């Protein structure tokens, strides 16, 4: 059974379309109007082995906040829809990713409850055309709509680009692990019987 979601969201500030195939091969189309975010979404799809299409139009003449946050929100909705009732999934995923001087761990639980812990100070105020503080807003929106626990920890790092890139790659790998099928646990991966 194909695990896929197509989500569209329109507001007075943004228009977002996302297509996400969980069992893909890293085919990606990212067009948000924010070059740095497109780069991060490309890395996310490649390292997650997801087929991902993200198209966004937003009020970038104001700033990138609404677009970045809403892309995270719609991606989270797409993940929640694509995993369905979570039958047969691993549910948990984690990955520690080195990138040059940077080391980041990301851990996810597709628990049906949203929570974000992001302990990753980013030294630069801006990364290309993206304010660094929007990285946390993106992941907060993602975790809230995916209804997952997401913990991201920077162990060490100096270069802001490397830090954010490691965050996106590690989280891609953690999500990839969490959505994998677990043949040893064919039902709902919870003692409650529901997630």
State the pLDDT at residue 138.
98
State the pLDDT at residue 81.
98
User: Which tokens is 160 given?
Assistant: 């802001």
pTM, 2 dp: 0.97
User: Which tokens is 63 given?
Assistant: 């700033």
State the pLDDT at residue 3.
96
Q: Return the CATH fold of 4-179.
A: Ribosomal Protein S5; domain 2 (3.30.230)
Q: Where are the domains of the chain?
A: 4-179
Q: What is the mean pLDDT of the chain?
A: 97
Average pLDDT on 96-101 reads: 98
pLDDT digits (tens, 9 = 90+) for 147-178: 999 999 999 999 999 999 999 999 999 999 99
- Please check the confidence at residue 93 and state whether its pLDDT lies above 90: yes
Average pLDDT on 138-152 reads: 98
């Amino acid at each position: 059974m194909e695990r896929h979601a197509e989500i569209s969201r329109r507001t007075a500030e943004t228009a977002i379309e996302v297509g996400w195939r969980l069992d893909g091969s890293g085919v990606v189309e990212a067009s948000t109007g924010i070059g740095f975010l497109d780069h991060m979404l490309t890395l996310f799809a490649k390292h997650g082995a997801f087929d991902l299409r993200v198209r966004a139009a937003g009020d970038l003449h104001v700033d990138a906040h609404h677009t970045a946050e809403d892309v995270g929100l719609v991606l989270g909705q797409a993940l929640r829809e694509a995993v369905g009732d979570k039958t047969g999934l691993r549910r948990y995923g984690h990955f520690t990713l080195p990138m040059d001087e940077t080391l980041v761990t990301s851990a996810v639980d597709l628990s049906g409850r949203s929570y974000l812990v992001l302990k990753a100070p980013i030294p630069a105020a801006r990364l290309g055309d993206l304010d660094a503080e929007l990285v946390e807003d993106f992941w907060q929106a993602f975790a809230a709509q995916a209804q997952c626990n997401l913990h991201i920890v920077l162990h060490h790092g100096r270069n802001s680009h490397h830090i954010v890139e490691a965050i996106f790659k590690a989280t891609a790998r953690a999500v990839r692990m969490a959505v994998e099928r677990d043949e040893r646990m064919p039902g709902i991966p919870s003692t409650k019987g529901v997630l």
